[in-house]
Amino acid sequence: MENPLTTKNKIVLIPFPFDTLDATKVRPALCLTDPIGPHRHIILAFISSRLPDNLLESDLVIDSTREDFSITGLRVSSTLRLHRLMTVTTSLIKRELGELSPALQKKVLKKLKKVFGLATGEPTAVTSEQETTANEHPQTQKQED
């Protein structure tokens, strides 16, 4: 697949790194963005064919019994791991498998908002550098609110 114009919500095959970063394995992943910038970077979420006994809050099962499963291009029920993300250039995409249905796209968006603390109104972590900047430039903070 050579530099697609749109990738968001598509399921692709990509070399995904192991946790140790010493090797990669070509695996399915969900494109969370369209290409960004001159190097056409995309943000991806890992898809596993293993269905864990205990799902994490950031996991979403893509069930093969769903009516819309066939458009994913996946062969078996899989788990979308929305806490396992990476950014790569589109040139690393080996092949497009399929895409998520609009119903699954809504579920992904809801879970991503929760993962990043955007939907619940939970405060996000503030670094001491951000606190210092806010204290030195209080007008900046007012504009952002």
Average pLDDT over residues 97-125: 85
45 pLDDT exceeds 80? Answer: yes
Over the chain, what is the mean pLDDT? 85
CATH number of 10-144: 2.30.30.110
User: Is the predicted pLDDT of residue 142 greater than 50, yes or no?
Assistant: no
pLDDT band at 101 (very low <50, low <70, confident <90, very high): very high
pLDDT tens digits, 8-21 = 999 999 998 888 88
pLDDT band at 132 (very low <50, low <70, confident <90, very high): very low
Asked whether the predicted pLDDT for residue 118 surpasses 50, the reply is: yes
What is the SS3 string spanning the chain?
Answer: CCCCCCCCCEEEEEEEECCCCCCEEEEEEEECCCCECCCCEEEEEEEECCCCCCCCCCEEEECCCCCCHHHHCCCCCEEEEEEEEEEEEHHHCCEEEEECCHHHHHHHHHHHHHHCCCCCCCCCCCCHHHHHHHHHCHHHHHHHC
How much is the average pLDDT of 63-68?
Answer: 96
The predicted model scores a pTM of 0.78
